[in-house]
């Protein structure tokens, strides 16, 4: 599978641009500030419904525009292995306000979440070290992108939970603004709490399954990359810990937990427990990697995590995801450059961004794209 043509309208810094791509290695070369990352990020958004760079859709839309449009012609081998290959056009419309929409082959409009995962991709970025050293939000974003690739309708489950969580938080804020007792409104809060628990338990169970599938490959790949020096492990750290600890239905225990938290939630106006506070536990030789791993070990763990996602997606989906290498060569030492180049060299399509000539992979067959020329054409 590979993207043969990518067209963007009002996407971040690009008013309009068309990029022709080829199977194998494609290098988008140009100085910083030209919009290289914006181009490859669009593939990530089409693939997973989200970007590792932002938690909302608004920054993806060019300033002053009401929406951004991503169109991609995706070439896939025919199911019976014969030629010609099948070409599908995917279109994603990112709204500055409102729901994001999508079309396939100019068909009926549907939600973006309905096509998420059909064009699988895995992105390696300069921010990947945050998956180990950063705040839980970065790891939850990775978990959600993994879910989008591995679990049908994961994006729909996540959106349902997010909607309920926002409604419940809004009610908590309203209750906190009232003077005196909030007992009269407690029934309304309990209704939203029930929905919060239902959707949260379902999301927690799905996430637990995703982490279980990634944990083994992650440990094995880290061992290979680190040449056997240290044992890395990955585990799910859910906020609804009752889901993984309880032998039976966890919902009564979670409901009792909420009963003890109501007053504190109302005073703060936030949901104090739930999947919005989930985390991933990464350890090295049994110790928290965030506190005890070296900078180099963290980079290796981050590479292993992304490679594990690639491996599991390829095995379960039967198609090799598009690999995005966004300015990673400037961040890595020579040994890790060689590791990621060795991995990328066997993939169906690789999209590389590079600012300096020395950061361009030494692949004679690479398709070099001059981003400065794209910018001149776009601005003409």
Question: Is it the case that residue 189 has pLDDT exceeding 90?
Answer: no
pLDDT tens sequence across 287-334: 999 999 998 899 899 999 999 999 999 999 888 999 999 888 777 777
For the chain, what are the domain ranges? 1-120+319-380, 132-314
Q: What distance in Å separates the CA atoms of residue 322 and residue 124, rounded to the nearest whole number? A: 11
Domains 1-120+319-380 and 132-314 share a fold: no
Q: What distance in Å separates the CA atoms of residue 291 and residue 133, rounded to the nearest whole number? A: 8
The sign of the torsion formed by the CA atoms of 5, 7, 30, 344 equals: negative
**132-314, which class in CATH?**
mainly alpha
Q: Please name the residue that has the structure tokens 């032998």.
A: 247
The pLDDT of residue 184 is 57
Bridge partner list, 326: 353
The pLDDT of residue 181 is 56
pLDDT tens sequence across 39-80: 999 999 999 988 888 878 889 999 999 999 999 999 987 666
Residue 304 tokens, joined: 């292993």
Check: CB of residue 332 under 8 Å from CB of residue 299: yes
Question: Is it the case that residue 182 has pLDDT exceeding 60?
Answer: no
**1-120+319-380 is classed CATH 3.30.720.200:** no
Cα dist. 169→165, 206, 238, 255 in Å?
6, 23, 19, 16
The pLDDT of residue 110 is 93
Per residue, what are the HEC states of 345-375?
A: CCCCEEEEEECCHHHCCCCCCCEEEEHHHHH
Question: Is it the case that residue 126 has pLDDT exceeding 70?
Answer: yes
**Whole-number CA gyration radius for the chain:** 22
Check: CB of residue 332 under 8 Å from CB of residue 359: no
Residue 320 tokens, joined: 């090799």
């Amino acid at each position: 599978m590979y993207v043969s043509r990518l067209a963007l309208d009002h996407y971040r810094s690009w008013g309009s641009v068309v990029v022709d791509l080829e199977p194998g290695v494609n290098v988008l070369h140009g100085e910083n500030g030209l919009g290289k990352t914006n181009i490859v990020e669009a593939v990530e958004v089409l693939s997973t419904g989200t970007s590792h760079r932002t938690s909302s859709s608004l920054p993806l839309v060019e300033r002053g525009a009401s929406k951004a449009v991503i169109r991609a012609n995706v070439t896939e081998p025919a199911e019976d292995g014969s030629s010609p290959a099948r070409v599908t056009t995917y279109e994603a419309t990112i709204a500055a306000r409102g729901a994001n929409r999508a079309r396939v082959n100019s068909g009926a409009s549907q939600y973006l979440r309905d096509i998420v995962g059909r064009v699988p991709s895995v992105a390696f970025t300069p921010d990947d070290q945050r998956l180990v050293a950063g705040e839980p939000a970065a790891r939850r974003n990775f978990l959600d992108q993994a879910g989008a690739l591995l679990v049908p309708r994961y994006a729909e489950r996540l959106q349902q939970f997010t909607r309920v969580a926002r409604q419940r938080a809004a009610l908590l804020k309203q209750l906190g603004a009232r003077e005196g007792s909030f007992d009269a409104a407690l029934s309304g809060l309990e209704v939203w709490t029930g929905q919060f628990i239902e959707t949260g338990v379902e999301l927690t169970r799905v996430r637990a399954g995703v982490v279980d599938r990634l944990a083994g490959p992650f440990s094995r790949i880290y061992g290979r990359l680190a040449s056997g020096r240290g044992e890395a492990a990955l585990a799910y750290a859910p906020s609804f810990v009752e889901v993984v600890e309880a032998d039976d239905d966890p919902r009564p225990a979670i409901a009792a937990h909420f009963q003890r938290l109501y007053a504190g939630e109302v005073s703060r106006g936030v949901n104090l427990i739930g999947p919005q506070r989930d985390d991933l536990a990464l350890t090295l030789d049994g110790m928290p990697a965030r506190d005890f791993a070296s900078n180099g070990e963290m980079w290796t763990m981050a590479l292993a995590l992304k490679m594990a996602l690639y491996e599991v997606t390829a095995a379960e989906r039967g198609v090799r995801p598009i690999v995005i290498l966004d300015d990673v060569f400037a961040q890595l030492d020579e040994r890790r450059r060689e590791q990621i180049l060795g991995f990328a060299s066997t993939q169906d399509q690789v999209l590389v961004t590079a600012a300096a000539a020395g950061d361009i992979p030494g692949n004679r067959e690479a398709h070099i794209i001059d981003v400065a020329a794209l910018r001149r054409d776009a601005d003409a």
